[in-house]
Amino acid sequence: MRIPLTAWLRWVNLIGWAALAIGNMQLIAPRDETVLAAGLAWERGA
């Protein structure tokens, strides 16, 4: 099976939302602040 490298990525640009990649994990939401807040919590284990 051939999986496009961008299958999980390109749609986010089209819908226009924000996405934060932490290594291979991608957090996606309409606003920058939401993904950053979640990413900070993830990183700090808060």
Q: Are 26 and 34 in contact (CB under 8 A)?
A: no
**Min dist. Cβ of residue 2 to other proteins (A):** 10
**Min dist. Cβ of residue 31 to other proteins (A):** 6
The pair of three-digit structure tokens given for residue 40, joined into one six-digit string? 């900070």
φ/ψ (deg, to 5) at 27: -105, 130
* Distance (Å, whole) CA 20 – CA 35: 6
Report 4-43 residues binding other proteins (CB under 8 A): 4-43
**Min dist. Cβ of residue 17 to other proteins (A):** 6
**Residues at the contact surface with other proteins, assessed by CB under 8 A:** 1, 3-46
